[in-house]
A and B are shown apart, each in its own frame.
Chain A
Amino acid sequence: MRHQTALFVMIVFTSCTFSGCAPAVIMINKIPELKGGSPLGDISPLNFVIHDFVDARMIENPHKVGYGILGFNHNVLADREAKDLVRQTIVLELKRNGHQVLEPQEKDKADVIIDGSVQELWVGATGLYSGEIRASTKIKITANSLKLEKSLSKIYQGIASQNVTALFKFVNKEGFERLLNDALLSMVKEFTMDPDFLEVLQKVKKQPSAS
């Protein structure tokens, strides 16, 4: 009987311990969207073209967005490429504030053309002992306009972190998704509230159309 009990406990522990081994795939059903006020909404509506972003993260799998605890849930994958996730989040924020996002073929009609590269996008457990998980994004953005002589090039980054209350909590998909979204939105906020970027948009507005 004693052996059976030990076996039972061992099986339960082993299954609990390795329950998170499989790759966690984050299904992004909805692109994260900011709510509340933004100075971007105070600028007269502009036409944007946002080119496909470049993934500069030096990661083989373009869907990989994170890692779990000590190999558990090691591969956190998004259902779309990381660069598309970032681009779509920015598109949504521009549209939310009354701007139009045109197809790349309509470049001639664009007031502002944005190019970008994803330098960093990940979510993971950063402190096993402290029980902390964190998500981070970093993008490089270049804004150009045919109506302006100079272009603006900047790097923006956003982070989100959360202390998990339990020491041995296995980070789950919902936690990863929420934090990744928070980090993306934090980055978008930084980029869209940057006084330099807003100044460029104001100048574009004041310029007469090229055509």
Chain B
Amino acid sequence: MKNHISSFRCPMFILFIFLSLSCSSYGPPPPNIHIAKSQLSNHKKVALTVTSSELDVKYSRADFSLLSPLAAMFGVLPFLAVLGIEEASDSKKDHSRAIIIQESTTKQYLEKLLGDNFIERIRTTNPFYIGSRHHDRPQTLITEGFDALIELRVEDLCLKRKSYSEVLEVYLLVTGKMISLHDNKIIWSQREEDLSDEVHTYDAYKDDNASILKGILEKMFHKIAVRMANDIIFSK
């Protein structure tokens, strides 16, 4: 009996790993929360904070690896080890590329782009007063007379290589939430993403102080900021 169990142990372990990977969660994002018009009228003064992650480049990492289907077909562990080494090497190359472009598109630049566009759109109809703040504590904001806090965050901004080509597209994912400072409840949340129409090579994005990239980013940030602000302004 003991021998019988031990002969099954190794294949069962591999099978367990395989199934764990196959069945791991797909992880859909949480649903958006839409603010009601009645809720909006309770908030007269709203603070805005914007944070951003650094721009990332996925050029080498986008390469197709033949090891993946091999791993799926014949077993996981040995191929995963090689995949890990490959991933580390590609990440290093991409990191160096990202650092060069980050000099022209700093976090502060991205935060300002998103924040300015959002505030500009909100102020076209002025459903409430909106003021930009830099990570103030809720208590400080309440003392200053704010009713709510809108937090916008650039979750993902990257230059992604298109499959089977040398060109990259710009991918942007922004999340936002509005918290009522009186009861600390989230009364609005939104997730917006966009992919650039234009594609260029890495060098084209990098050259001339990233002027092409900046032009694309301005359009994308404007679009996303307007969409998010519209969801608040035209609440039902």
Contacts and interface: CB of A to CB of B under 8 A. Distances in A.
Contacts, number: 114
- Give the contact-size bracket for chain A: 35 or more
A61 interface: no
A16 interface: yes
B156 to A, nearest CB: 9
Specify the main secondary structure of chain A where it touches its partner.
Answer: mixed
A1 B7 contact: yes
Interface residues of B, number: 51
Interface in B47-65: 58, 61-65
Contact of A168 (B22, B58, B197): B22
A17 B73 CA distance: 7
Contacts of A41: 234, 236
Interface stretch (A31-39, A49-57, A201-209): A31-39
Contact of B61 (A130, A159, A164, A172): A130
Contact of B28 (A6, A16, A162): A162
9 closest Cβ contacts across the A-B interface? A37-B234, A36-B34, A166-B24, A9-B11, A36-B231, A159-B195, A37-B235, A166-B21, A168-B72
Interface of B: 4, 7-8, 11, 14-15, 18-19, 21-29, 32, 34-35, 58, 61-65, 68-69, 71-73, 75-76, 83, 163, 171, 190, 193-195, 197, 223, 226-227, 230-236
Interface of A: 1-2, 5-6, 8-9, 12-13, 16-17, 35-39, 41-42, 70, 126-130, 136, 157, 159-162, 164-170, 172, 174-175, 178, 186, 189-190, 193
